[in-house]
C-alpha cells in the first residue's frame, strides 16, 4: 500500500508554484546553460525551506563545537587525528556559522563518514536532541531533516523540476547546504567536471576549439535554492557565462581558483563566442529574488560574490543531479578509498548498489528499517542498478 502525501514525513504539498514550473523553456535552457525559477516557492514553501536550512546549520554547529574530537580513536578507523591546535574551542568557533567552514577535519574523514559513518563503539558525535547519524548535516542535510529529505529525493513537484533540466532517469550527484555567513568570500570563477571527466573535451583551461551546439547526454545540472534570495545588494550573488557550457570545458575544477571577473575576461573568455549567436561570451550577474531557484549546467563557469558584512546568513541549498553514465564503474569510489588505506579486502557486495552521492552507511540503515523511499533508492542507486 503506497503512502498518501499526508503520511510522508516532512511533506509540504503546496511547495512550488505550478505556473513557474510550466513556464520552463527547455530550448532556452540548453542554449544559455541556465534557468532561473523566479518566485517558484510558495509562501509556505519558502518559510519551511528557510527554517530547515537554519535547523541544519544549528545542528552542524552543535556537532562541531560539542564533540570531543580529541577523544575519538582515529587510528582504529585508519585515519589521522586532527591537529590539536585545530580542535580548541577558539578554532572550532571559527568553523561555525556557515557552510564549508569545517577546517579541522583530518584527511579523508569526509570520505570515511560517507562510507562508514563516524559512529561507535565509543561516543563520538554529540547528540543534543538529535540522532547521531555519523555524518555532518551540511554534507547530507536530508538525514537530519524530513522536509529536506523529501524535497531532494521524493517530492513530486521537485522531481518534475529536476527531470525538466536533467532528463528522465536522473540520479543524485550531491546535495549540500551552501549557507554563506557575512563576510564570506564566496567562490571565484570555476566549474565542475561530470563525474571523472571522461566526457569532457578539453583540459581545465581549454583552447576554445571545441564549440558545439550539441547538448550532450552526459550532463550534471546544479540547482540552487535561495529561500531568502541572493542579491547584488547583499553580496554573495550568483554569476554565470551564458553559452559557455557549449565548450564543455570544466574551468579550473582541480586547481586553485583565483579568477575574478577581470581575469576571466582577459583570459578564458577571450576569443570565445556563443555557439548560437556568434556574439562574444559575457559575464551575467543574476539578482535572484527570495523564494527562487536557479538551475545551471555543472561544467559551465560560475561565480559567487563576496557576502557583505552586516547582512546576515544567506541560506542556500545545492541540489546536483546528473544523467546516468554508461561508463560508470560500480566500485570505483569505494575501491579508491580502501586501496589508499590498504584495506581493499573490505570491498563488499554493497559497493555496487549505490552511486557516489549516497552516504552508504545511512542508506543501508534507512533501507533496512524500511525508511528509504523508492524514489530515494532510485536516485542514489548505481547507474546500472535496477533498484
**Distance between CA atoms of residues 309 and 281, nearest Å:** 32
**Distance between CA atoms of residues 166 and 217, nearest Å:** 9
Where does residue 193 fall: left (phi above 0), alpha (psi -120 to 50 degrees), or beta otherwise?
A: beta
Distances (CA, A) of 237 to 5, 33, 88, 208, 335: 35, 18, 33, 27, 38
Closest CA to 196 of 72, 322, 103: 322
Residue 203, domain member (yes or no): yes
Banded model confidence at residue 339, pLDDT cuts 50, 70, 90: very low
- What spatial distance separates the first Cα and last Cα of the chain, rounded to whole Å? 18
Q: What is the pLDDT of residue 123?
A: 61
Cell representation of residue 242: 551564458
Place of cell 559557455: 244
Residue 92, domain member (yes or no): no
Q: What is the pLDDT of residues 142-172, one digit of tens each?
A: 999 999 999 999 999 999 999 999 999 999 9
Residue 371, domain member (yes or no): no
Residue 337, domain member (yes or no): no
pLDDT-wise least confident of 135-144, 187-196, 267-276, 311-320:
187-196
Where does residue 386 fall: left (phi above 0), alpha (psi -120 to 50 degrees), or beta otherwise?
A: alpha
Tally of structural domains, the chain? 1
Residue 345, domain member (yes or no): no
- Cα 232-234-237 angle, rounded to 5 deg: 45
Q: Give the chain as a 3 state SS string.
A: CCCCHHHCCCCCCCCECHHHHHCCCHHHHHHHCEEEECCCECHHHHHHHHHHHHHHHHHHHHHHHHCCHHHCCCHHHCCCCCCHHHCCHHHHHCCCCCCCCCCCCCCCHHHHHHHCCCCCCCCCCCCCCCCCCCCCHHHCHHHCCHHHHHHHHCCHHHHHHHHHHHCCCCEEEEEEECCECCCCCCEEEECCCCCCCCCCCCCCCCCCCCCCCCCCCCCEEEEEEECCCECCCCECCEEECCCHHHHCCCCCCCCCCCCCHHHHHHCCCCCCECCCCCCECCCEEECECCCEEEEEECCCCEEECCECCCCCCECCEEEEEECCCCCCCCCHHHHHHHHHCCCHHHCCHHHHCECCCCCHHHHHHHHHCCCCCHHHHHHHECCCCCC
| Residue 219 domain boundaries | 5-43+144-322
**Distance between CA atoms of residues 238 and 10, nearest Å:** 29
Distances (CA, A) of 46 to 64, 173, 253, 290, 296: 27, 24, 32, 8, 21
Cell representation of residue 228: 531568502
**Distance between CA atoms of residues 177 and 161, nearest Å:** 19
Q: What is the pLDDT of residues 270-324, one digit of tens each?
A: 889 999 999 999 999 999 999 999 999 999 999 988 888 888 899 999 999 999 9
Which pTM was predicted? 0.91
Residue 83, domain member (yes or no): no
Task: Spell out the residues 6+ positions from residue 131 whose beta carbon is closer than 8 angstroms to its own.
Answer: none
Residue 76, domain member (yes or no): no
Place of cell 546536483: 320
Banded model confidence at residue 183, pLDDT cuts 50, 70, 90: confident
Q: What is the pLDDT of residue 119?
A: 84
Whether the per-residue pLDDT at 262 is higher than 70: the answer is yes
Residue 198, domain member (yes or no): yes
Q: What is the CATH number of the domain that holds 181?
A: 2.60.120.620
CB of 357 closer than 8 Å to CB of 173 = yes
What number is the average pLDDT over the span 228-236? 85
Amino acid at each position: 500500500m503506497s503512502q498518501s502525501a499526508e503520511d510522508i514525513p516532512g511533506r509540504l504539498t503546496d511547495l512550488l508554484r505550478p505556473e513557474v514550473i510550466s513556464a520552463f523553456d527547455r530550448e532556452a535552457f540548453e542554449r544559455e546553460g541556465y534557468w532561473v525559477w523566479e518566485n517558484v516557492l510558495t509562501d509556505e514553501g519558502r518559510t519551511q525551506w528557510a527554517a530547515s536550512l537554519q535547523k541544519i546549520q544549528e545542528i552542524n554547529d552543535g556537532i562541531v563545537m560539542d564533540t570531543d574530537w580529541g577523544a575519538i580513536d582515529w587510528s582504529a578507523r585508519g585515519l589521522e587525528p586532527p591537529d590539536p591546535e585545530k580542535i580548541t574551542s577558539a578554532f572550532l568557533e571559527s568553523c561555525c556559522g556557515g557552510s564549508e567552514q569545517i577546517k579541522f577535519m583530518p584527511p579523508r574523514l569526509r570520505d570515511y563518514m560517507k562510507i562508514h559513518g563516524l559512529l561507535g563503539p565509543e561516543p563520538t558525535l554529540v547528540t543534543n536532541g538529535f540522532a547521531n547519524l555519523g555524518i555532518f548535516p551540511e554534507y547530507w542535510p536530508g538525514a537530519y531533516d524530513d522536509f529536506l529529505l523529501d524535497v531532494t529525493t521524493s517530492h513530486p513537484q521537485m522531481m518534475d523540476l529536476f527531470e525538466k533540466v536533467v532528463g528522465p532517469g536522473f540520479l543524485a550527484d550531491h546535495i549540500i547546504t551552501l549557507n554563506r555567513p557575512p563576510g564570506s568570500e564566496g567562490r571565484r570563477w570555476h566549474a565542475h567536471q561530470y563525474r571523472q571527466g571522461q566526457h569532457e573535451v578539453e583540459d581545465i583551461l581549454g583552447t576554445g576549439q571545441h564549440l558545439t551546439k550539441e547538448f550532450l547526454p552526459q550532463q550534471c545540472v546544479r540547482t540552487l535554492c535561495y529561500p531568502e534570495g541572493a542579491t547584488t545588494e547583499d553580496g554573495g550573488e550568483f554569476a554565470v557565462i551564458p553559452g559557455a557550457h557549449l565548450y564543455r570545458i570544466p574551468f579550473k575544477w582541480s586547481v586553485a581558483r583565483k579568477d575574478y571577473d577581470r581575469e576571466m575576461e582577459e583570459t578564458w573568455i577571450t576569443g570565445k563566442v556563443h555557439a548560437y549567436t556568434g556574439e562574444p561570451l559575457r559575464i551575467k550577474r543574476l539578482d535572484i529574488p527570495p523564494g527562487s531557484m536557479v538551475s545551471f549546467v555543472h561544467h559551465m563557469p560560475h561565480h559567487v560574490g563576496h557576502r557583505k558584512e552586516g547582512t546576515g546568513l544567506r541560506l542556500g541549498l545545492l541540489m546536483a543531479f546528473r544523467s546516468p553514465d554508461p561508463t560508470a564503474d560500480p566500485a570505483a569510489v569505494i575501491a579508491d578509498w580502501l586501496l589508499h588505506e590498504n584495506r581493499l579486502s573490505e570491498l563488499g557486495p554493497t559497493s555496487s548498489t549505490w552511486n557516489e552521492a549516497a552516504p552508504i552507511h545511512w542508506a543501508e540503515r534507512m533501507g533496512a528499517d524500511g525508511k528509504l523511499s523508492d524514489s530515494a533508492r532510485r536516485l542514489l542507486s548505481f547507474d546500472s542498478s535496477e533498484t
